[in-house]
């Protein structure tokens, strides 16, 4: 099988109607914050137990096509000794891996960020592939202020994403390109649209320069919505309309899938927004789906509470959340579904 065939096979398995991606790639500090409200200490064993709960939940393969893992998880196993990535693969769910190494300030560009991790990336990708990973994810972050992101910040981040994506495809690994325009701040929806459009345009210019094959990548962007501190909230329909306007202007039709991040939205908001996007553009050239972390996991963590006796109930909660987002991917979600078992 050629590298191109390998990439195409992975894309076809990941981009399926009614399915999306679970982001379970929380770093150690982030998952510690997730565990704190349920009074569970973040240890290697507690993280293994929780991710085992997620990956073995009955029925999720009907709604989840891929899982983004944290590097630690690739080496962990179930109680029976089966690698967690192997559990996913056996169920037809594609294992993936977060390969960026976190953000920091962009030098001489106050307010802008840049993500680290390109050094040694090819070698790390080879190792991750041996451990079962077939796709990867890299996140760049854009804060909105009066002055940010700057032209330099936008171009530098686009270059990083393109170099990462090219490195992945060279190794036969599908890249998920994640540019996240943050919700933090009091900016308007129009300002978010302006920044998101500029970010997306620069990213696709950079991907073209680096010979990235668009048919063999997935875009994981933010939805276009007002900042969390903005006095006026937008409806799901308003968010869908503005998001689709920006993406029709910026994302080539060759890209097979756009899997939105939830970016601080609560589970119900994330599902309702995705549904409105699909209902508003049923014949989009891309599959419009989800790649949610907290919006899929928050209710699961609350149901689990770190207790083994709650695993079955927590798995039912996870299956329901996955099922509702699968319906939203088809534009078939109704708020009344939230109250059903």
How distant, in Å, are the alpha carbons of 30, 41, 318 from that of 49?
17, 12, 15
Q: Which tokens go with 217?
A: 């990548």
Among this protein's residues, is 220 annotated catalytic?
yes
DSSP element (H, E) containing 23: strand 20-24
DSSP element (H, E) containing 219: strand 218-219
Query: CB-based contacts of 167: which residues, under 8 Å, 6+ apart?
Result: 118, 121, 122, 125
Kindly report the CA angle at 226 between 223 and 230, in degrees rounded to 5? Answer: 160
Q: Are 180 and 142 in contact (CB under 8 A)?
A: yes
Q: Spot the catalytic one: 220, 228, 307, 320.
A: 220
- Percentage helix, strand, coil, to 5, in the chain? 50, 15, 35
Q: Are 135 and 96 in contact (CB under 8 A)?
A: yes
Cα separation, 131 vs 114, whole angstroms: 28
Cα separation, 239 vs 241, whole angstroms: 6
Query: CB-based contacts of 241: which residues, under 8 Å, 6+ apart?
Result: 280
Kindly report the CA angle at 185 between 184 and 188, in degrees rounded to 5? Answer: 115
ω into residue 299 within 30 of 0, thus cis? no
Q: Return the closest-CA partner of residue 88 out of 119, 113, 112, 54.
A: 54
Catalytic residues, which ones?
220
């Amino acid at each position: 099988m050629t590298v191109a065939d390998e990439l195409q096979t992975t894309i076809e398995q990941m981009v399926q109607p009614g399915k999306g991606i679970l982001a379970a790639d929380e770093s150690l500090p982030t998952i510690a914050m997730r565990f704190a409200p349920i009074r569970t200490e973040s240890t290697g064993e507690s993280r293994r137990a929780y991710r085992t709960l997620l990956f073995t939940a009955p029925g999720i393969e009907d709604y989840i096509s891929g899982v983004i893992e944290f590097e630690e998880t690739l080496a962990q196993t179930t109680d029976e000794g089966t690698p967690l990535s192997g559990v996913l693969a056996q169920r037809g769910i594609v294992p993936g891996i977060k390969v960026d190494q976190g953000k920091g300030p962009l030098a001489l560009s106050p307010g802008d960020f840049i993500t680290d991790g390109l050094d040694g990336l090819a070698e790390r990708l080879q190792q991750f592939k041996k451990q079962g990973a077939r796709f990867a994810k890299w996140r760049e972050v854009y804060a909105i202020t009066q002055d940010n992101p700057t032209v330099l910040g936008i171009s530098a981040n686009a270059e990083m994403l393109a170099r990462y994506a090219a490195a992945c495809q060279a190794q036969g690994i599908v890249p998920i390109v994640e540019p996240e325009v943050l919700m933090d701040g009091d900016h308007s929806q129009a300002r978010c649209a302006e920044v998101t459009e500029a970010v997306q345009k620069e990213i696709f210019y950079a991907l073209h320069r680096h010979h990235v094959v668009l048919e063999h990548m997935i875009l994981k962007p933010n939805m276009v919505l007002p900042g969390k501190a903005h006095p006026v909230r937008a409806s799901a329909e308003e968010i869908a309309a503005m998001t689709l306007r920006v993406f029709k202007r910026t994302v080539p039709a060759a890209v097979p899938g756009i899997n939105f991040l939830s970016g601080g939205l609560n589970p119900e908001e994330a599902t309702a927004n995705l549904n409105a996007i699909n209902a508003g553009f049923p014949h989009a050239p891309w599959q419009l789906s989800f790649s949610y972390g907290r919006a899929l996991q928050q209710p699961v963590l609350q149901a689990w509470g770190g207790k083994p006796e709650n695993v079955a109930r927590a798995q039912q909660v996870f299956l329901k959340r996955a099922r509702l987002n699968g319906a939203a991917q088809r534009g078939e979600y109704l708020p009344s579904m939230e109250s059903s078992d």
